[in-house]
Structure 1
């Protein structure tokens, strides 16, 4: 229950994510990273993806960011140049810190009768001191993500704590740079207050149902990304589901006081660093040693 000092953030901006083709045969709703919402430090991109049969994201490099893949339906396989591979199941998360460089492939699994893979991919800028760390992964299967019950286990709402803390429940995921990531699931109409660190950049992305934020009575529907205000007096956000079966993610991150220079999947802080990255990739060094020799098995299929 919200205490007397709980002051809610409000809607600062609302962006509808429209479905567009991306990669080989995938459909993506992009909000953060689109022309309408270019800069939202530390967040670089948010894609709500739907991958149909024969489509996917074959071998591609990354440097300088973390990519967080959260599966909403279906399953997806991944494999990388560091010898790491596995499957992300429905409700599972892969938190990949690309660091100084990695090449990986993400390919959907299509089984007869199973739903098409759908999920969210969030790119988070790494603080500049972590740009060149060794790549690392934190992966949680669906049963490993802890769940908070703001109104008790029998209540109308549960919050899957992918990272950070919610209602006394903490995730084991430890991002480089502050980031809290929650998946809220409302069976029935209800209201929650979620604490958020003061001053952190925060957004909500809805894919089922509709919500109101703070004291507003204006419902916001599915496929909207809501950027929240970040006043120093605001301790969190009040969200009310105005329909049964409402689902959204609430993500909050510590803004970075650094420039973003992005060239496709490479994210650094200066143009010189990008040029160096392109040379590293071209010559297969500093994290890209296997750039031209390695091929994923899943990408060939």
Structure 2
């Protein structure tokens, strides 16, 4: 196996989105902090209601996928067609905006901790105008495995470590995403296999993690995206307990033009998206489809 090494760090920055929700943004701060096909990664986490209570009122999307992973808390998703979905602690919503969707994500709590992630994942040009689709994944639908080194939740893709493998509920997408939430104990070492051609990074959100690099180790601090080089495996090493995301997906290799909530391949397509939104034709006709989960 060819070990992936740590290529660079992207520190998260304090920002706000929606109606003033406080976030930490790593990927997506600007065009230089995208990792094809990953467009953006936001972490939100606070037990102060004022940091999240106003939520994300109705807003449009076109041309990519949003993945919301709720660690703690309760959000209600609603779209322009009247569909509703409750996103609770440990659950995931995987939404393909495609041609267009107008939706909101609003807190269903007035106090307590709300914590989680939103990931933006690009779509290839051939899929940017397909009908919107989404799925709400309940916590019990996400495999959670006990390993000698700790625990792992498999949200997308197939986790492989040596001869062991286990698939998650999201499979078969064109970018072939792998999305794992790892909780590792102190003084552990874990090697995971990754598709050799995939873009990959780690994001520790409670503690830090080391990436094995030959005989040395390089540290990815808390709330930094650690961009990994090419290879078919990565070795994670801990000194203290840590929780982190490990994400990988196949790069698309197409031009990216972004204007706020629209991500297309050309400025003409962005102008068309803005015009469609202004004229009320962003979403096209028909209901949003349902993404089928892997069994």
The question of a shared fold, defined as TM-score above 0.5 by the shorter chain, is answered with yes
* Separation (CA, whole Å) in 1 of partners of 2:281 and 2:130: 14
* Separation (CA, whole Å) in 2 of partners of 1:220 and 1:43: 19
Q: Is the 8 A contact 1:148 1:166 kept in 2?
A: no
Q: Is the 8 A contact 1:102 1:288 kept in 2?
A: no
> Which residues of 2 match residues 258-277 of structure 1 at below 5 A?
258-277=254-273
Q: Is the 8 A contact 2:185 2:238 kept in 1?
A: no
* Separation (CA, whole Å) in 2 of partners of 1:129 and 1:196: 25
* Separation (CA, whole Å) in 2 of partners of 1:206 and 1:36: 22
Residue range with higher mean Cα deviation, 213-222 or 62-71? 213-222
Per the alignment, residue 201 of structure 2 pairs with 203
- TM-fit CA distance, 1:16: 1.4
Of 93, 118, 121, the match for 1:121? 118
Q: Is it true that 1:33 corresponds to 2:31 in the alignment?
A: no
Per the alignment, residue 74 of structure 2 pairs with 75
Q: Is it true that 1:173 corresponds to 2:170 in the alignment?
A: yes
TM-score by length of structure 1 reads 0.86
Per the alignment, residue 252 of structure 1 pairs with 248
Question: How many residues are paired up?
Answer: 275
* Large movers: runs of 4+ above 6 Å: none
* Separation (CA, whole Å) in 1 of partners of 2:167 and 2:16: 36
Per the alignment, residue 131 of structure 2 pairs with 134
Alignment RMSD (CA, Å)? 1.9
Gaps of 5+ in 2: 287-295
Q: Is it true that 1:160 corresponds to 2:153 in the alignment?
A: yes
* Separation (CA, whole Å) in 1 of partners of 2:18 and 2:169: 32
Per the alignment, residue 289 of structure 2 pairs with none
Q: Is the 8 A contact 2:92 2:138 kept in 1?
A: yes
Q: Is it true that 1:102 corresponds to 2:101 in the alignment?
A: yes
- TM-fit CA distance, 1:20: 2.4
- TM-fit CA distance, 1:111: 4.8
Per the alignment, residue 10 of structure 1 pairs with 5
Q: Is the 8 A contact 1:130 1:176 kept in 2?
A: no
